[in-house]
Every structure is written in C-alpha cells, then in structure tokens.
C-alpha cells in the first residue's frame, strides 16, 4: 500500500503540491481537485525524459509538437461549464512539476534496482535443491519441450502420467506407460500426479497415447513410391514400439528429421529414383536454411 512504500509516498506528496499550485493558479475550489488530477497525470506522460533524448513519449509516438496540457482546464458549473486558463509565466508551478518528475525518476530507479536484485537471487539459486516428494511407483507429469512445433520458439507441455521407476540425488527415472521407454528427468521438470495406488485404466492409456509423443526413429526398413501423392514414402521402425506399429512417412519428413540415417538407407537401397528424390529434398532443405 502507498503508506507503506516510501517512494510512492514521496511521489504522492509531490502530486499534492502540484494540485495545490494548480488550485491557486486556476482560482478554483479545493473540492474540484479530481478535475485537475487528469491534467497532472497527462503532464507526467507528456514530459520530456532523458532516456528518450529529452523528448516526450507522445512526441515520439505522434511526431507532433508536444502540447502543454496544463494551459486549460474545463470546470463544472451549475449553469454552464467554465474554462480557466493559466498565464504564460508560472515559475512556482513549473518548479513543482520538476520536483514531481524528479521524484518519479527516483521511484522508478528504486523499483528497477529491487527487480535486478530479485533476478540475481533467482539466477544464483541452486534449482536442484528444491524439495521433492516422489517415491518409486508414484505417477508424475513431465514437462516436455516440443522443439518441432516452432521454428524459433520452444513449446512446453505437461504430458503423462509417467511411472517413477528410479531416483538419484539429481534426477528421477520415469517410464512411459505406452512405450515402456525410461527417461532420466530433472525434478524441476516433474510434478506429482498420483501415488502408486493409481488405477491405470484403458482410458488413461488412450489419453497418454493421444498426447503426440515425439518418438525416436530406430531404423528405416523399406520404401515405396506413392503414385497418388507423387512422392516417395519411407517405412519407419520406431524406438520402443512393436513391428506392427511401423508406419509409412513422407520422404521429406524423414530427410528433415534424420538426414544422416536417410542417406545411409538410400545408399544401401541402390534405388536411383529414391536417391535422386532424396538429394533434391536435401538441396531444397539446405537452400531454405541458408
């Protein structure tokens, strides 16, 4: 709250001084101060600042000369609105405004310093020392970074659940419920899902299988030319899956994901058309990346 924040309290005192000066300059009732407050706020936002080469933000945004919002104020009246204007010479008011801007600068500097200290403490914290309470047999969710989803950004998704099968001082070993593949994961990338009494139902297995798990290619076992699609397809054996789950994938996808493995397969297959198609796809990929 403001009365517990010295910097904010200091700025508020300066705002009150500016309001008092405006009330005297405009010769209005002190009860009309709410009509003057937007002028003070606008004056702050229209003030030149050193970080913007002594230009006001509104001046840089619009490209127009910065107006002085303290020249005129519209006051309410019983019969008609009254317009009050300030004289050109107003040294006392200008001095109060300068004091207010200086206080704002001090306040923002203090906030920036606190944020920098907080960021430094966070960066220096040893994240692996955070307490964890996973036991062997528990079920956890894992934070997966899907690098394939974005070219220049990482997409993080909580997937699972996984079964905890091992623990060390610095990581846990978790098992995928569908593929059975084990992975070592840092505890900061895990969160508790259920204890070992969880009923692993068919619905839960279907849910895990539908999460779009990124599988690793174990081997390329066959190829064919798809006449309807007019492109080559490669039969892929996936790590951790049964032979019946081998799938036909477009040549372009295989070249992008495992180019070295694809080149080795094409060399062994001794199929001229496949080799030419693979070479053309590789060249196209290299042109796009360069």
The tens digit of pLDDT for each residue in 39-89 reads: 888 887 788 877 667 777 777 676 666 766 555 556 666 454 455 555 555
The tens digit of pLDDT for each residue in 41-53 reads: 888 778 887 766 7
Residue 90 has pLDDT above 80, yes or no: no
The percent of residues above 90 in pLDDT, for the chain, comes to 17
pLDDT reported for residue 223: 95
The pLDDT mean for the chain works out to 77
More confident residue, 7 or 84: 7
What's the average model confidence in pLDDT over 147-165? Answer: 65
pLDDT reported for residue 150: 41
CATH top-level class of 217-289: mainly beta
Distance CA 234, CA 251 (A): 6
Residue ranges per structural domain of the chain: 2-124, 139-209, 217-289
The predicted model scores a pTM of 0.34
Distance CA 6, CA 13 (A): 11
Please classify residue 2 by burial: count the beta carbons closer than 10 Å to its beta carbon, then call 0-12 exposed, 13-18 middle and 19+ buried.
Answer: exposed
What's the average model confidence in pLDDT over 23-29? Answer: 81
Q: Are 220 and 234 in contact (CB under 8 A)?
A: yes
pLDDT reported for residue 175: 92
Give the list of residues 6+ apart from residue 72 with CB closer than 8 angstroms, or none.
83, 84, 85, 86
Cα-based torsion angle of the residue sequence 126, 128, 129, 134 in order, rounded to the nearest 10 degrees: 160
- Dmax over CA atoms of the chain, in Å, equals 97
The tens digit of pLDDT for each residue in 173-195 reads: 999 888 888 888 888 788 888 88
pLDDT category, 125, cuts 50, 70, 90?
low
Residue 134 has pLDDT above 60, yes or no: yes
Distance CA 217, CA 51 (A): 53
pLDDT category, 218, cuts 50, 70, 90?
confident
Give the list of residues 6+ apart from residue 13 with CB closer than 8 angstroms, or none.
103
The tens digit of pLDDT for each residue in 242-277 reads: 788 788 999 998 998 889 999 999 999 989 999 999
């Amino acid at each position: 709250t403001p009365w517990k924040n010295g910097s904010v309290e200091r700025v508020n005192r300066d705002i009150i001084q500016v309001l008092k000066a405006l009330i005297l300059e405009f010769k209005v009732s002190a009860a009309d101060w709410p009509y003057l407050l937007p002028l003070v706020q606008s004056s702050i936002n229209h003030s030149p600042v050193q970080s913007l080469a002594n230009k006001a933000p509104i001046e840089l945004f619009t490209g127009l000369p910065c107006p002085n919002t303290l020249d005129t104020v519209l006051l309410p009246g019983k019969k008609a609105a009254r317009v009050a204007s300030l004289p050109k010479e107003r040294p006392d008011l200008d001095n109060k405004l300068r004091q207010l801007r200086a206080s704002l600068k001090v306040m923002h500097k203090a906030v920036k310093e606190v944020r920098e200290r907080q960021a430094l403490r966070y960066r220096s914290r040893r994240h692996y020392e955070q307490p964890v309470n996973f036991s062997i047999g528990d079920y956890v969710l894992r934070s997966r970074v899907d690098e394939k989803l974005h070219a220049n950004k990482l997409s993080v998704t909580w997937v699972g659940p996984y079964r905890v099968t091992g623990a060390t001082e610095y990581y846990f070993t978790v098992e995928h419920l569908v593929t059975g593949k084990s992975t070592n994961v840092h505890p900061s990338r895990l969160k508790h899902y259920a204890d070992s009494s969880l009923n692993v139902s068919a619905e839960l297995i279907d849910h895990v299988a539908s999460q779009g798990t990124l599988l690793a290619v174990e081997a390329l076992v066959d190829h064919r030319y798809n006449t309807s699609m007019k492109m080559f397809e490669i039969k892929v054996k996936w790590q951790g899956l049964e032979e019946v789950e081998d799938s036909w994938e477009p040549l372009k996808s295989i070249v992008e994901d495992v180019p070295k493995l694809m080149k080795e397969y094409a060399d062994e297959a001794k199929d001229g058309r496949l080799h030419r198609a693979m070479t053309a796809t590789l060249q196209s990929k290299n042109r796009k990346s360069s």
